[in-house]
Amino acid sequence: MVGEKGIGGLSHRSVAAEADVPLGSTTYHFKTLDELMVAALRQANEGFAKTVTASGAFEDTRVDLAGELAKLLGEWLAGDRADLELEYELYLSALRKPALQPVAAECGEGLAEVLRRRTDPVTAQALVALVDGICLQVLLTGVRYDEAYAREVFNRLVPSGDCSEDRSGD
């Protein structure tokens, strides 16, 4: 529902109508609108981190970390645009809604956890920040995702021992 109407269209009444349930059902499960938004953000959080985890590619140290990350990001960005917009709209709502901040922090933690298996914690967090930056550029500016560019900038962050590509030109 938020995907269609944005955060501004989110209310107990609109969710109940969309789900075809009595209004009391939504207010019973979610006492406040913030609780409803937290639930929506938790559901949306399953985006890219879940894709990365499901790929299993990051378990194999022979897999090119930068290349695989760039490929998976491209596949994710080629998916349903409404789902991507929803995830980031909810994520950015944490700027004004303190109840969402802990859940927003969880957004990148799943991805960072997977990346820490292949690199140090600081580099993992930097890669998460870069993924977010690339996603925001694609979503906000309409620029097309450039996998070669993403691979190049990921390669700049990944220590040379973690990547099978020749990085002598870096």
- The pLDDT value recorded for residue 128 is 94
The values of phi and psi at residue 142, to 5°, are 80, 5
**DSSP 3-state percent helix, strand, coil across the chain (nearest 5):** 75, 0, 25
Q: Compute the distance between CA of residue 55 and CA of residue 72 in angstroms, rounded to an integer.
A: 8
Element (H, E) at 46: none
Mean per-residue pLDDT for 26-44? Answer: 83
pLDDT of 44 higher than 90: no
| pLDDT tens-digit series, residues 85-104 | 888 888 888 888 898 899 88
CA-wise closest residue to 56 among 42, 72, 80, 45: 72
Q: What is the mean pLDDT of the chain?
A: 83
- The pLDDT value recorded for residue 41 is 81
Element (H, E) at 167: none
Mean per-residue pLDDT for 127-133? Answer: 95
What residue type is 30 in one-letter code?
A: F
Mean per-residue pLDDT for 104-133? Answer: 91
- Given a contact cutoff of 8 angstroms between Cβ atoms, the answer to whether 99 and 38 are in contact is yes
| pLDDT tens-digit series, residues 52-78 | 778 887 888 888 999 999 999 999 899
CA-wise closest residue to 44 among 85, 10, 76, 6: 85
Q: Which two tokens stand for residue 81?
A: 């645009």
3-state secondary structure 65-100: HHHHHHHHHHHHHCCCHHHHHHHHHHHHHCCCCHHH
**CATH of region 33-159:** 1.10.357.10
> 15-29, 76-90, 137-151, 155-169: which range is least confident on average?
155-169
pLDDT of 167 higher than 60: no
pLDDT of 6 higher than 80: no
How far out from the chain centre does Cα 60 lie? 22
- The pLDDT value recorded for residue 37 is 83
Which residue pairs, CB below 8 angstroms and at least 24 apart, start in 8-13?
A: 10/36, 10/37, 10/40, 12/36
Q: Which two tokens stand for residue 72?
A: 């998976």
pLDDT of 50 higher than 80: no
